[in-house]
Structure 1
Amino acid sequence: MPIITVDNRKIHIQELNKGVRETVVLIHGMFSNLSIYYFNIAPILAQHYHVVMYDLKSHGMSERILDGYDLENMASDLLGLIDFLDLKKVHLVGYSFGGLIALKTALKYADRIDQLVIMEAPDPRDEETRGIIDQYSKEFLEHYVANFTDTTKVQMGKRQMEKNHRMYEFLFYETSIKADMIREKDFFTETDLTKINIPALLLYGDQSNCRPTGEWLEKELGQAKLELIPGDHNIPIQEPAQIAEAIVHFLSKSLSKSNTLTQNHG
Protein backbone atom coordinates (compact mmCIF):
# COMPACT_ATOMS: atom_id res chain seq x y z
CA MET A 1 0.00 0.00 0.00
CA PRO A 2 2.39 2.77 -1.16
CA ILE A 3 1.47 6.09 0.45
CA ILE A 4 3.53 9.09 -0.59
CA THR A 5 3.45 12.66 0.74
CA VAL A 6 3.11 15.41 -1.86
CA ASP A 7 2.60 19.03 -0.76
CA ASN A 8 1.99 17.81 2.82
CA ARG A 9 -0.82 15.49 1.72
CA LYS A 10 -0.83 11.71 1.71
CA ILE A 11 -1.60 10.09 -1.65
CA HIS A 12 -2.13 6.41 -2.31
CA ILE A 13 -0.42 5.32 -5.53
CA GLN A 14 0.31 2.10 -7.36
CA GLU A 15 3.01 1.65 -10.02
CA LEU A 16 3.52 -1.17 -12.51
CA ASN A 17 6.57 -1.85 -14.70
CA LYS A 18 8.81 0.84 -13.19
CA GLY A 19 11.86 1.89 -15.13
CA VAL A 20 10.30 1.81 -18.58
CA ARG A 21 10.91 4.98 -20.58
CA GLU A 22 7.28 5.91 -21.37
CA THR A 23 4.87 6.55 -18.48
CA VAL A 24 1.07 6.44 -18.52
CA VAL A 25 -0.77 8.10 -15.61
CA LEU A 26 -4.33 6.87 -15.01
CA ILE A 27 -6.88 9.20 -13.40
CA HIS A 28 -10.12 7.75 -12.06
CA GLY A 29 -13.44 9.60 -11.77
CA MET A 30 -15.13 11.23 -8.80
CA PHE A 31 -16.54 8.83 -6.17
CA SER A 32 -14.34 5.97 -7.41
CA ASN A 33 -10.71 4.90 -6.86
CA LEU A 34 -7.71 3.49 -8.72
CA SER A 35 -9.11 -0.06 -8.59
CA ILE A 36 -11.17 0.76 -11.68
CA TYR A 37 -7.89 0.35 -13.58
CA TYR A 38 -5.80 -1.87 -11.33
CA PHE A 39 -7.16 -5.35 -12.06
CA ASN A 40 -7.88 -5.27 -15.79
CA ILE A 41 -6.71 -2.22 -17.75
CA ALA A 42 -3.42 -1.41 -15.99
CA PRO A 43 -1.83 -4.89 -16.36
CA ILE A 44 -2.32 -4.78 -20.14
CA LEU A 45 -0.85 -1.27 -20.38
CA ALA A 46 2.04 -2.37 -18.15
CA GLN A 47 3.15 -4.86 -20.79
CA HIS A 48 4.35 -1.81 -22.74
CA TYR A 49 4.54 1.18 -20.35
CA HIS A 50 5.36 2.32 -16.85
CA VAL A 51 1.87 2.71 -15.34
CA VAL A 52 1.05 5.08 -12.47
CA MET A 53 -2.34 5.04 -10.73
CA TYR A 54 -3.38 7.21 -7.78
CA ASP A 55 -6.43 7.85 -5.63
CA LEU A 56 -7.76 11.39 -5.86
CA LYS A 57 -7.94 13.31 -2.59
CA SER A 58 -10.52 11.85 -0.18
CA HIS A 59 -10.95 8.82 -2.47
CA GLY A 60 -9.74 5.29 -1.89
CA MET A 61 -6.80 5.31 0.54
CA SER A 62 -5.68 8.90 -0.06
CA GLU A 63 -5.93 11.48 2.72
CA ARG A 64 -9.29 13.10 3.44
CA ILE A 65 -9.16 16.77 2.41
CA LEU A 66 -11.82 19.44 2.98
CA ASP A 67 -11.36 21.57 -0.15
CA GLY A 68 -9.67 21.89 -3.55
CA TYR A 69 -11.92 19.77 -5.80
CA ASP A 70 -11.99 22.28 -8.66
CA LEU A 71 -10.07 21.47 -11.85
CA GLU A 72 -7.34 24.02 -11.15
CA ASN A 73 -6.44 22.35 -7.86
CA MET A 74 -6.87 18.83 -9.19
CA ALA A 75 -4.49 19.58 -12.08
CA SER A 76 -2.01 21.10 -9.63
CA ASP A 77 -2.25 17.97 -7.47
CA LEU A 78 -1.49 15.83 -10.51
CA LEU A 79 1.53 17.92 -11.47
CA GLY A 80 2.81 17.62 -7.90
CA LEU A 81 2.59 13.83 -8.21
CA ILE A 82 4.38 13.85 -11.58
CA ASP A 83 7.15 16.03 -10.13
CA PHE A 84 7.46 13.85 -7.02
CA LEU A 85 8.00 10.79 -9.22
CA ASP A 86 10.57 12.77 -11.24
CA LEU A 87 8.72 12.23 -14.54
CA LYS A 88 9.55 14.76 -17.24
CA LYS A 89 6.62 13.98 -19.60
CA VAL A 90 3.73 11.54 -19.35
CA HIS A 91 0.73 10.27 -21.23
CA LEU A 92 -2.56 10.95 -19.41
CA VAL A 93 -5.63 8.72 -19.32
CA GLY A 94 -8.66 10.19 -17.54
CA TYR A 95 -12.07 8.63 -16.96
CA SER A 96 -15.27 10.63 -16.31
CA PHE A 97 -14.33 13.62 -14.08
CA GLY A 98 -10.76 12.35 -14.39
CA GLY A 99 -11.06 13.13 -18.10
CA LEU A 100 -11.78 16.76 -17.24
CA ILE A 101 -8.75 16.78 -14.94
CA ALA A 102 -6.64 15.44 -17.82
CA LEU A 103 -7.92 18.17 -20.16
CA LYS A 104 -7.22 20.89 -17.59
CA THR A 105 -3.73 19.51 -16.96
CA ALA A 106 -2.98 19.43 -20.70
CA LEU A 107 -4.06 23.07 -20.96
CA LYS A 108 -2.15 24.25 -17.91
CA TYR A 109 1.02 22.16 -18.20
CA ALA A 110 1.23 21.42 -21.92
CA ASP A 111 5.00 20.87 -21.86
CA ARG A 112 4.60 17.92 -19.45
CA ILE A 113 2.00 15.95 -21.41
CA ASP A 114 2.74 13.83 -24.49
CA GLN A 115 -0.67 12.42 -25.38
CA LEU A 116 -4.20 12.28 -23.97
CA VAL A 117 -6.82 9.58 -23.65
CA ILE A 118 -10.18 10.92 -22.50
CA MET A 119 -12.81 8.37 -21.46
CA GLU A 120 -16.40 9.38 -20.93
CA ALA A 121 -15.61 12.93 -19.76
CA PRO A 122 -19.00 14.57 -19.10
CA ASP A 123 -20.14 18.06 -19.96
CA PRO A 124 -19.91 19.94 -16.62
CA ARG A 125 -23.06 21.86 -17.59
CA ASP A 126 -25.06 18.61 -17.45
CA GLU A 127 -27.55 18.99 -14.62
CA GLU A 128 -27.73 15.21 -14.18
CA THR A 129 -23.99 15.05 -13.47
CA ARG A 130 -24.09 17.74 -10.78
CA GLY A 131 -27.49 16.65 -9.51
CA ILE A 132 -26.01 13.49 -8.00
CA ILE A 133 -24.70 15.57 -5.12
CA ASP A 134 -28.06 17.21 -4.43
CA GLN A 135 -29.96 13.93 -4.24
CA TYR A 136 -27.40 11.80 -2.43
CA SER A 137 -28.57 9.45 0.32
CA LYS A 138 -27.79 5.88 1.33
CA GLU A 139 -30.88 4.82 -0.63
CA PHE A 140 -29.54 6.65 -3.67
CA LEU A 141 -26.23 4.77 -3.36
CA GLU A 142 -28.06 1.44 -3.18
CA HIS A 143 -30.09 2.34 -6.28
CA TYR A 144 -26.93 3.51 -8.08
CA VAL A 145 -25.11 0.28 -7.20
CA ALA A 146 -28.06 -1.81 -8.40
CA ASN A 147 -27.95 -0.03 -11.78
CA PHE A 148 -24.16 -0.38 -11.88
CA THR A 149 -24.46 -4.13 -11.27
CA ASP A 150 -27.07 -4.46 -14.02
CA THR A 151 -24.81 -2.88 -16.65
CA THR A 152 -21.44 -4.24 -15.53
CA LYS A 153 -22.33 -7.58 -13.87
CA VAL A 154 -20.00 -6.58 -11.02
CA GLN A 155 -21.37 -7.18 -7.52
CA MET A 156 -20.53 -4.94 -4.56
CA GLY A 157 -20.30 -6.53 -1.12
CA LYS A 158 -21.90 -5.13 2.04
CA ARG A 159 -18.57 -4.01 3.53
CA GLN A 160 -17.63 -2.21 0.32
CA MET A 161 -21.07 -0.57 0.20
CA GLU A 162 -20.65 0.73 3.77
CA LYS A 163 -17.11 1.97 3.01
CA ASN A 164 -18.34 3.82 -0.10
CA HIS A 165 -21.25 5.27 1.84
CA ARG A 166 -18.89 6.73 4.47
CA MET A 167 -16.66 8.21 1.76
CA TYR A 168 -19.64 9.69 -0.11
CA GLU A 169 -21.07 11.21 3.07
CA PHE A 170 -17.73 12.86 3.85
CA LEU A 171 -17.39 14.22 0.31
CA PHE A 172 -20.96 15.45 0.04
CA TYR A 173 -21.41 16.94 3.51
CA GLU A 174 -17.96 17.94 4.78
CA THR A 175 -16.00 19.13 1.74
CA SER A 176 -16.24 21.88 -0.88
CA ILE A 177 -16.87 19.37 -3.68
CA LYS A 178 -20.41 20.56 -4.42
CA ALA A 179 -19.42 24.23 -4.73
CA ASP A 180 -16.28 23.34 -6.67
CA MET A 181 -18.18 21.24 -9.23
CA ILE A 182 -20.79 23.95 -9.68
CA ARG A 183 -18.00 26.45 -10.27
CA GLU A 184 -16.71 24.27 -13.12
CA LYS A 185 -20.01 24.16 -15.03
CA ASP A 186 -18.73 26.59 -17.69
CA PHE A 187 -15.37 24.87 -18.17
CA PHE A 188 -16.10 23.92 -21.79
CA THR A 189 -17.61 27.29 -22.77
CA GLU A 190 -14.99 29.45 -21.05
CA THR A 191 -11.94 27.41 -22.08
CA ASP A 192 -10.23 27.42 -25.45
CA LEU A 193 -9.68 23.70 -25.89
CA THR A 194 -8.19 24.29 -29.34
CA LYS A 195 -5.00 25.20 -27.47
CA ILE A 196 -4.54 21.50 -26.70
CA ASN A 197 -2.31 20.66 -29.63
CA ILE A 198 -1.38 17.06 -28.85
CA PRO A 199 -2.82 13.74 -30.07
CA ALA A 200 -5.95 12.73 -28.16
CA LEU A 201 -8.05 9.57 -28.18
CA LEU A 202 -11.67 9.93 -27.07
CA LEU A 203 -13.29 6.71 -25.81
CA TYR A 204 -17.05 6.83 -25.26
CA GLY A 205 -19.77 4.23 -24.87
CA ASP A 206 -21.98 3.90 -27.93
CA GLN A 207 -25.02 3.94 -25.58
CA SER A 208 -23.66 6.54 -23.17
CA ASN A 209 -25.49 9.76 -22.37
CA CYS A 210 -22.03 11.40 -22.54
CA ARG A 211 -21.52 10.41 -26.18
CA PRO A 212 -22.55 13.86 -27.54
CA THR A 213 -19.74 15.37 -25.43
CA GLY A 214 -17.25 13.01 -27.08
CA GLU A 215 -18.52 14.01 -30.53
CA TRP A 216 -18.18 17.69 -29.60
CA LEU A 217 -14.67 17.23 -28.24
CA GLU A 218 -13.59 15.49 -31.44
CA LYS A 219 -14.47 18.66 -33.37
CA GLU A 220 -13.03 21.00 -30.74
CA LEU A 221 -9.63 19.37 -30.22
CA GLY A 222 -7.23 19.70 -33.13
CA GLN A 223 -5.78 16.19 -33.08
CA ALA A 224 -8.57 14.11 -31.55
CA LYS A 225 -10.13 10.87 -32.72
CA LEU A 226 -13.37 9.47 -31.29
CA GLU A 227 -13.71 5.71 -30.86
CA LEU A 228 -17.00 4.22 -29.68
CA ILE A 229 -16.94 1.24 -27.31
CA PRO A 230 -19.95 -1.07 -26.76
CA GLY A 231 -21.64 0.02 -23.54
CA ASP A 232 -22.64 3.08 -21.53
CA HIS A 233 -20.79 5.34 -19.07
CA ASN A 234 -19.30 2.27 -17.36
CA ILE A 235 -17.15 1.10 -20.31
CA PRO A 236 -13.94 0.66 -18.23
CA ILE A 237 -15.78 -2.03 -16.27
CA GLN A 238 -17.82 -3.37 -19.18
CA GLU A 239 -15.03 -3.64 -21.77
CA PRO A 240 -11.65 -3.29 -19.98
CA ALA A 241 -9.66 -5.39 -22.48
CA GLN A 242 -10.98 -3.44 -25.47
CA ILE A 243 -10.28 -0.16 -23.66
CA ALA A 244 -6.70 -1.19 -22.83
CA GLU A 245 -6.00 -2.43 -26.36
CA ALA A 246 -7.36 0.80 -27.85
CA ILE A 247 -5.08 2.85 -25.58
CA VAL A 248 -2.00 0.75 -26.39
CA HIS A 249 -2.72 0.96 -30.13
CA PHE A 250 -3.22 4.74 -29.96
CA LEU A 251 -0.10 5.44 -27.91
CA SER A 252 2.17 3.14 -29.90
CA LYS A 253 0.92 4.46 -33.24
CA SER A 254 1.35 8.10 -32.19
CA LEU A 255 4.80 7.43 -30.71
CA SER A 256 5.89 5.67 -33.90
CA LYS A 257 4.72 8.62 -35.98
CA SER A 258 6.50 11.07 -33.67
CA ASN A 259 9.79 9.11 -33.86
CA THR A 260 9.57 9.02 -37.67
CA LEU A 261 9.11 12.81 -37.81
CA THR A 262 12.08 13.31 -35.46
CA GLN A 263 14.30 11.11 -37.59
CA ASN A 264 13.26 12.88 -40.78
CA HIS A 265 14.12 16.27 -39.29
CA GLY A 266 17.08 15.38 -37.20
Structure 2
Amino acid sequence: MKDVQLYYEVYGEGEPIIFTHGASWDHQQWRPQVGHLSQWYKVIVWDVRGHGKSSLPAGKVDSEDLVKDLVDLIEYLDIGRVHLCGLSMGGHISLQAAIHNPERVKSLILIGTPYTNTYNWYEKLFVPINRFSSRFIPMSLLARIQARTLSTFNKDNKVYIQSVVSAMSLNDWVRLWAAISRMESGDQLAEVKCPTLILQGDHDHMIKRQQADLAHQLANARLITIKDAHHATNLDNATDVNEAIIMHLKSREWTTKVEDDSISEE
Protein backbone atom coordinates (compact mmCIF):
# COMPACT_ATOMS: atom_id res chain seq x y z
CA MET A 1 0.00 0.00 0.00
CA LYS A 2 2.99 2.26 -0.47
CA ASP A 3 1.45 4.19 -3.35
CA VAL A 4 -2.07 4.49 -1.96
CA GLN A 5 -3.78 5.44 1.29
CA LEU A 6 -6.63 3.08 2.13
CA TYR A 7 -9.40 3.99 4.54
CA TYR A 8 -10.84 1.22 6.73
CA GLU A 9 -12.89 0.71 9.89
CA VAL A 10 -12.95 -2.24 12.31
CA TYR A 11 -15.86 -3.24 14.54
CA GLY A 12 -16.38 -6.07 17.01
CA GLU A 13 -14.36 -9.17 17.89
CA GLY A 14 -14.25 -12.72 16.60
CA GLU A 15 -13.60 -14.31 13.24
CA PRO A 16 -12.70 -11.54 10.76
CA ILE A 17 -14.86 -10.74 7.75
CA ILE A 18 -13.93 -8.00 5.28
CA PHE A 19 -16.68 -6.28 3.28
CA THR A 20 -15.86 -4.70 -0.10
CA HIS A 21 -18.36 -2.29 -1.64
CA GLY A 22 -19.66 -1.91 -5.20
CA ALA A 23 -18.23 0.38 -7.88
CA SER A 24 -18.75 4.14 -7.24
CA TRP A 25 -19.91 3.45 -3.64
CA ASP A 26 -17.98 3.28 -0.36
CA HIS A 27 -17.72 1.47 2.98
CA GLN A 28 -20.98 3.01 4.22
CA GLN A 29 -22.84 0.59 1.96
CA TRP A 30 -22.37 -2.03 4.67
CA ARG A 31 -23.97 -0.18 7.61
CA PRO A 32 -26.75 -2.78 8.08
CA GLN A 33 -24.19 -5.58 8.16
CA VAL A 34 -21.76 -3.76 10.46
CA GLY A 35 -24.43 -3.03 13.04
CA HIS A 36 -25.69 -6.61 13.16
CA LEU A 37 -22.71 -8.86 12.50
CA SER A 38 -20.22 -7.00 14.71
CA GLN A 39 -22.05 -8.51 17.70
CA TRP A 40 -20.29 -11.81 16.95
CA TYR A 41 -17.57 -11.13 14.37
CA LYS A 42 -14.69 -8.75 13.71
CA VAL A 43 -16.21 -6.73 10.87
CA ILE A 44 -13.89 -4.74 8.62
CA VAL A 45 -15.10 -2.30 5.97
CA TRP A 46 -12.87 -0.30 3.66
CA ASP A 47 -12.86 2.03 0.69
CA VAL A 48 -11.40 0.65 -2.55
CA ARG A 49 -8.79 3.01 -4.01
CA GLY A 50 -10.44 5.99 -5.68
CA HIS A 51 -13.60 5.55 -3.62
CA GLY A 52 -14.73 7.27 -0.44
CA LYS A 53 -11.77 8.30 1.69
CA SER A 54 -9.12 6.20 -0.11
CA SER A 55 -6.71 7.87 -2.48
CA LEU A 56 -6.18 7.19 -6.19
CA PRO A 57 -2.61 7.48 -7.48
CA ALA A 58 -2.00 9.15 -10.82
CA GLY A 59 -1.78 7.05 -13.96
CA LYS A 60 -3.60 4.06 -15.37
CA VAL A 61 -5.64 1.99 -12.94
CA ASP A 62 -5.05 -1.77 -13.07
CA SER A 63 -7.67 -4.11 -11.64
CA GLU A 64 -4.85 -6.17 -10.16
CA ASP A 65 -4.05 -3.18 -7.94
CA LEU A 66 -7.55 -3.34 -6.45
CA VAL A 67 -7.04 -6.99 -5.53
CA LYS A 68 -3.54 -6.35 -4.19
CA ASP A 69 -4.92 -3.59 -1.98
CA LEU A 70 -7.33 -6.05 -0.36
CA VAL A 71 -4.62 -8.63 0.22
CA ASP A 72 -2.27 -5.95 1.56
CA LEU A 73 -5.00 -4.82 3.96
CA ILE A 74 -5.37 -8.38 5.27
CA GLU A 75 -1.63 -8.58 5.84
CA TYR A 76 -1.45 -5.12 7.39
CA LEU A 77 -4.19 -5.98 9.90
CA ASP A 78 -2.44 -9.29 10.67
CA ILE A 79 -5.71 -11.20 10.94
CA GLY A 80 -4.71 -14.47 9.27
CA ARG A 81 -7.28 -16.15 7.05
CA VAL A 82 -10.49 -14.19 6.59
CA HIS A 83 -13.99 -14.39 5.20
CA LEU A 84 -14.46 -12.01 2.27
CA CYS A 85 -17.82 -10.49 1.34
CA GLY A 86 -18.36 -8.18 -1.61
CA LEU A 87 -21.08 -6.78 -3.82
CA SER A 88 -20.63 -6.44 -7.60
CA MET A 89 -17.13 -4.98 -8.07
CA GLY A 90 -16.38 -5.79 -4.44
CA GLY A 91 -17.40 -9.39 -5.01
CA HIS A 92 -15.16 -9.69 -8.06
CA ILE A 93 -12.22 -8.23 -6.12
CA SER A 94 -12.89 -10.78 -3.35
CA LEU A 95 -13.13 -13.59 -5.90
CA GLN A 96 -9.81 -12.56 -7.43
CA ALA A 97 -8.23 -12.50 -3.97
CA ALA A 98 -9.36 -16.10 -3.43
CA ILE A 99 -7.95 -17.09 -6.82
CA HIS A 100 -4.53 -15.54 -6.34
CA ASN A 101 -4.14 -15.75 -2.55
CA PRO A 102 -6.15 -18.79 -1.42
CA GLU A 103 -4.10 -19.10 1.76
CA ARG A 104 -5.60 -15.80 2.93
CA VAL A 105 -9.27 -16.60 2.28
CA LYS A 106 -11.36 -18.81 4.53
CA SER A 107 -14.61 -18.36 2.59
CA LEU A 108 -16.38 -16.07 0.12
CA ILE A 109 -19.74 -14.31 0.15
CA LEU A 110 -20.45 -12.91 -3.31
CA ILE A 111 -23.48 -10.65 -3.77
CA GLY A 112 -24.59 -9.73 -7.30
CA THR A 113 -21.07 -10.51 -8.46
CA PRO A 114 -19.92 -10.85 -12.07
CA TYR A 115 -16.98 -13.10 -12.82
CA THR A 116 -16.61 -11.81 -16.37
CA ASN A 117 -17.53 -8.77 -18.45
CA THR A 118 -17.87 -10.85 -21.63
CA TYR A 119 -20.42 -13.43 -20.50
CA ASN A 120 -22.66 -13.19 -23.58
CA TRP A 121 -23.13 -11.18 -26.77
CA TYR A 122 -25.00 -8.44 -24.91
CA GLU A 123 -22.12 -7.81 -22.51
CA LYS A 124 -19.54 -8.04 -25.27
CA LEU A 125 -21.43 -5.27 -27.08
CA PHE A 126 -22.72 -3.17 -24.20
CA VAL A 127 -19.72 -3.05 -21.83
CA PRO A 128 -17.31 -1.37 -24.31
CA ILE A 129 -20.03 1.12 -25.28
CA ASN A 130 -20.71 1.83 -21.62
CA ARG A 131 -16.99 2.21 -20.93
CA PHE A 132 -16.66 4.79 -23.73
CA SER A 133 -19.84 6.71 -22.92
CA SER A 134 -18.90 7.01 -19.23
CA ARG A 135 -16.50 9.80 -20.25
CA PHE A 136 -19.41 12.04 -21.21
CA ILE A 137 -21.96 11.39 -18.46
CA PRO A 138 -21.67 13.85 -15.53
CA MET A 139 -21.37 12.14 -12.16
CA SER A 140 -24.41 14.08 -10.95
CA LEU A 141 -26.50 12.45 -13.70
CA LEU A 142 -25.04 9.00 -13.06
CA ALA A 143 -25.80 9.48 -9.38
CA ARG A 144 -29.45 10.34 -10.06
CA ILE A 145 -29.89 7.38 -12.42
CA GLN A 146 -28.37 4.93 -9.94
CA ALA A 147 -30.30 6.39 -7.01
CA ARG A 148 -33.63 6.19 -8.80
CA THR A 149 -33.07 2.69 -10.19
CA LEU A 150 -31.79 1.16 -6.97
CA SER A 151 -34.21 2.61 -4.43
CA THR A 152 -37.34 0.69 -5.41
CA PHE A 153 -37.28 -1.61 -2.38
CA ASN A 154 -35.56 0.69 0.10
CA LYS A 155 -36.26 4.39 -0.30
CA ASP A 156 -33.34 5.22 1.98
CA ASN A 157 -30.96 4.00 -0.73
CA LYS A 158 -31.69 7.09 -2.79
CA VAL A 159 -30.00 9.61 -0.50
CA TYR A 160 -26.94 7.42 0.10
CA ILE A 161 -26.36 6.45 -3.53
CA GLN A 162 -26.86 9.95 -4.89
CA SER A 163 -24.49 11.38 -2.31
CA VAL A 164 -21.68 8.85 -2.66
CA VAL A 165 -21.69 8.63 -6.47
CA SER A 166 -21.83 12.39 -7.03
CA ALA A 167 -18.87 12.86 -4.67
CA MET A 168 -16.54 11.05 -7.08
CA SER A 169 -14.82 13.01 -9.82
CA LEU A 170 -15.58 12.08 -13.42
CA ASN A 171 -11.89 11.66 -14.21
CA ASP A 172 -11.42 9.20 -11.34
CA TRP A 173 -14.55 7.28 -12.30
CA VAL A 174 -13.51 6.93 -15.95
CA ARG A 175 -10.09 5.62 -14.92
CA LEU A 176 -11.56 3.21 -12.40
CA TRP A 177 -14.34 1.96 -14.65
CA ALA A 178 -11.84 1.24 -17.43
CA ALA A 179 -10.15 -1.23 -15.08
CA ILE A 180 -13.23 -2.62 -13.32
CA SER A 181 -15.07 -3.33 -16.57
CA ARG A 182 -12.12 -5.39 -17.83
CA MET A 183 -11.88 -7.74 -14.85
CA GLU A 184 -12.02 -11.37 -15.97
CA SER A 185 -11.99 -14.56 -13.88
CA GLY A 186 -13.70 -17.02 -16.22
CA ASP A 187 -10.68 -19.21 -16.84
CA GLN A 188 -9.56 -19.22 -13.20
CA LEU A 189 -12.67 -20.34 -11.30
CA ALA A 190 -11.25 -23.84 -10.82
CA GLU A 191 -8.65 -22.27 -8.53
CA VAL A 192 -11.32 -21.36 -5.97
CA LYS A 193 -11.69 -24.16 -3.44
CA CYS A 194 -13.03 -22.30 -0.43
CA PRO A 195 -16.72 -22.42 0.59
CA THR A 196 -18.67 -19.77 -1.30
CA LEU A 197 -22.10 -18.27 -0.68
CA ILE A 198 -23.62 -16.50 -3.68
CA LEU A 199 -26.52 -14.11 -3.02
CA GLN A 200 -28.69 -12.90 -5.89
CA GLY A 201 -31.43 -10.27 -5.58
CA ASP A 202 -34.62 -11.56 -7.16
CA HIS A 203 -35.05 -8.31 -9.14
CA ASP A 204 -31.36 -7.90 -10.00
CA HIS A 205 -31.32 -8.91 -13.66
CA MET A 206 -27.99 -7.26 -14.45
CA ILE A 207 -25.97 -10.45 -14.12
CA LYS A 208 -28.54 -13.02 -13.05
CA ARG A 209 -27.42 -15.72 -15.49
CA GLN A 210 -23.84 -15.32 -14.36
CA GLN A 211 -24.82 -16.11 -10.77
CA ALA A 212 -26.20 -19.56 -11.54
CA ASP A 213 -23.25 -20.31 -13.79
CA LEU A 214 -20.79 -19.14 -11.15
CA ALA A 215 -22.41 -21.39 -8.56
CA HIS A 216 -22.15 -24.31 -10.97
CA GLN A 217 -18.50 -23.72 -11.80
CA LEU A 218 -17.17 -23.20 -8.29
CA ALA A 219 -16.22 -26.36 -6.41
CA ASN A 220 -18.05 -25.58 -3.18
CA ALA A 221 -20.77 -23.00 -3.74
CA ARG A 222 -24.32 -22.35 -2.63
CA LEU A 223 -26.69 -19.96 -4.41
CA ILE A 224 -29.49 -18.22 -2.52
CA THR A 225 -31.95 -15.75 -3.99
CA ILE A 226 -32.81 -12.77 -1.79
CA LYS A 227 -36.43 -11.67 -2.12
CA ASP A 228 -37.47 -8.06 -2.70
CA ALA A 229 -34.00 -6.93 -3.71
CA HIS A 230 -32.31 -5.30 -6.69
CA HIS A 231 -28.57 -4.79 -7.23
CA ALA A 232 -28.22 -2.97 -3.87
CA THR A 233 -29.14 -6.33 -2.38
CA ASN A 234 -27.62 -5.92 1.07
CA LEU A 235 -29.43 -2.59 1.53
CA ASP A 236 -32.75 -3.66 -0.02
CA ASN A 237 -33.23 -6.68 2.22
CA ALA A 238 -30.64 -6.46 4.98
CA THR A 239 -32.52 -8.89 7.23
CA ASP A 240 -32.37 -11.81 4.80
CA VAL A 241 -28.82 -10.98 3.70
CA ASN A 242 -27.61 -10.87 7.30
CA GLU A 243 -29.33 -14.15 8.09
CA ALA A 244 -27.79 -15.85 5.04
CA ILE A 245 -24.31 -14.55 5.94
CA ILE A 246 -24.59 -15.78 9.52
CA MET A 247 -25.79 -19.21 8.39
CA HIS A 248 -22.83 -19.38 6.03
CA LEU A 249 -20.31 -18.34 8.67
CA LYS A 250 -21.68 -20.81 11.19
CA SER A 251 -21.81 -23.69 8.72
CA ARG A 252 -19.36 -26.51 9.12
CA GLU A 253 -20.66 -28.46 6.14
CA TRP A 254 -18.24 -26.72 3.83
CA THR A 255 -16.44 -29.72 2.41
CA THR A 256 -19.17 -31.04 0.12
CA LYS A 257 -20.71 -29.53 -2.98
CA VAL A 258 -24.26 -28.31 -2.47
CA GLU A 259 -26.41 -29.96 -5.12
CA ASP A 260 -28.82 -28.02 -7.32
CA ASP A 261 -31.92 -29.38 -5.60
CA SER A 262 -30.84 -27.87 -2.28
CA ILE A 263 -30.29 -24.39 -3.68
CA SER A 264 -32.90 -21.98 -2.35
CA GLU A 265 -35.21 -20.29 -4.81
CA GLU A 266 -33.50 -21.73 -7.90
Q: TM-score range by the shorter chain?
A: 0.7 to 0.9
* Aligned counterpart, 1:154: 156
* Aligned counterpart, 2:70: 78
* Aligned counterpart, 1:262: none
Cα 1:147/1:30, change in 2 over 3 Å: same
Corresponding position: 1:212 with 2:209? yes
Residue 101 of structure 1 and its aligned partner are, at CA, apart by 0.4
TM-score (norm 2): 0.82
Match of 2:51 among 59, 74, 84: 59
Taking the aligned partners of 1:13 and 1:62, their CA distance within structure 2 comes to 9
Taking the aligned partners of 2:17 and 2:163, their CA distance within structure 1 comes to 32
* Aligned counterpart, 1:223: 220
Query: Does the 8 A contact of 2:200 with 2:208 survive in 1?
Result: yes
- Percent identity among equivalent residues? 21
SS at match of 1:60: coil
Query: Does the 8 A contact of 2:89 with 2:180 survive in 1?
Result: no
TM-score (norm 1): 0.82
* Aligned counterpart, 2:182: 183
* Aligned counterpart, 1:15: 10
Residue 94 of structure 1 and its aligned partner are, at CA, apart by 1.0
Corresponding position: 1:117 with 2:113? no
CA RMSD of aligned residues (A): 2.4
SS at match of 2:251: helix
Match of 1:24 among 13, 17, 33: 17
Query: Does the 8 A contact of 2:96 with 2:185 survive in 1?
Result: no
Cα 1:249/1:131, change in 2 over 3 Å: farther
Cα 1:213/1:23, change in 2 over 3 Å: same
* Aligned counterpart, 1:194: 190
5+ long unaligned stretches in structure 2:
256-266
Taking the aligned partners of 2:157 and 2:86, their CA distance within structure 1 comes to 24
Matches within 5 A, 1:80-95: 80-95=72-87
Cα 1:163/1:203, change in 2 over 3 Å: closer
Cα 1:130/1:102, change in 2 over 3 Å: farther
Cα 1:99/1:31, change in 2 over 3 Å: same
SS at match of 1:153: coil
5+ long unaligned stretches in structure 1:
1-5, 259-266
1:186-230 CA distance string (max 9 Å, x none):
x143x2201211110000012211221110011100100000001
1:68-109 CA distance string (max 9 Å, x none):
644321111111111111111101001111111011000100
Amino acid at match of 2:243: E
4+ runs deviating over 6 angstroms: none
Cα 1:61/1:108, change in 2 over 3 Å: same
Amino acid at match of 2:236: Q
The number of aligned residues is 243
Taking the aligned partners of 2:95 and 2:37, their CA distance within structure 1 comes to 21
Corresponding position: 1:167 with 2:165? no
Q: Which moved more, 1:89-98 or 1:162-171?
A: 162-171
Taking the aligned partners of 2:54 and 2:42, their CA distance within structure 1 comes to 21
Residue 29 of structure 1 and its aligned partner are, at CA, apart by 1.1
SS at match of 1:245: helix
Cα 1:124/1:247, change in 2 over 3 Å: same
SS at match of 2:73: helix
* Aligned counterpart, 1:96: 88
Taking the aligned partners of 2:105 and 2:163, their CA distance within structure 1 comes to 37
Cα 1:106/1:206, change in 2 over 3 Å: same
Query: Does the 8 A contact of 1:67 with 1:177 survive in 2?
Result: no
Query: Does the 8 A contact of 1:68 with 1:74 survive in 2?
Result: no
